[in-house]
Amino acid sequence: MRAGKVALYEDLKRLILTMELDPDELLDESSLTAQYGLSRTPVREVFQRLAGEGYLEIVEKRGVRVIPMSHSTLRNFFLVAPMIYAATGRLAVQNYKPAQLKALKETQKRFRKAMQTHDAEALALENNRFHELMGEMAGNPYLQPSLGRLLIDHCRIGHTFFRPQDEDMEQRLQLAADHHDAFITAIEARDEQAVVDLVFEHWELCRVNMEIFIAPQGLKTDHLIQTPEGNR
């Protein structure tokens, strides 16, 4: 039963992050119990765990649905993302452990490998894991849940980034990978300012790409966030 619960938990996370389960999509509890060979209790325990982590929403008398994305969701995402990422970067430099840095390097190797094989799903998931690990390095019990919720929508909003359709997009993906390498170097050197500067460079790259696909008309983020110079 435990193996079935773990598989269900991991599969639902992956399906949500890669948009194979649409925002606001209702989950069929009966189908999942049959598919994973579980009773209703462990399935509901997985639902509760994923709801607590921000992936699902349990709605009374309506069932369980994938956390939705709306105009308000997107607006809030663009408003707070750079602030949370910058705070995470600072704390990661201050608090990281050697084993966490090793895990970050291994994740980056998998990200680079996925680039070579043009595996869009692996790219999205390894990128998500890279930034999750930075949150774990930060080790702040107040910040980490916010980062986790943010990364869910970042992965969902930006999934098209990992399906480059032209040479320009390929170059932007290469730059994102180079940023990851630079993050590792700066964290290992305990260079807090370098990490914060990279956060804003990386955010700008991601923001522009995401806005190509999804930013609501009229929503401009440039004037809503502080530049790296403004945070020094």
- Give the confidence band of 213 by pLDDT, cuts at 50, 70, 90: low
The whole-number pLDDT of residue 225 equals: 42
Instruction: Evaluate if residue 218 carries a pLDDT over 80.
Output: no
Of 137, 112, 163, 38, the residue nearest 11 (C-alpha)? 38
Instruction: Convert the pLDDT of each residue in 47-58 to its tens digit.
Output: 999 999 999 999
Residue-averaged pLDDT of the chain: 88
Of 197, 203, 206, 208, the residue nearest 230 (C-alpha)? 197
The whole-number pLDDT of residue 214 equals: 60
Look up the pTM and report it. 0.85
Of 122, 85, 92, 120, the residue nearest 206 (C-alpha)? 85
- 3-state SS class at 199: helix
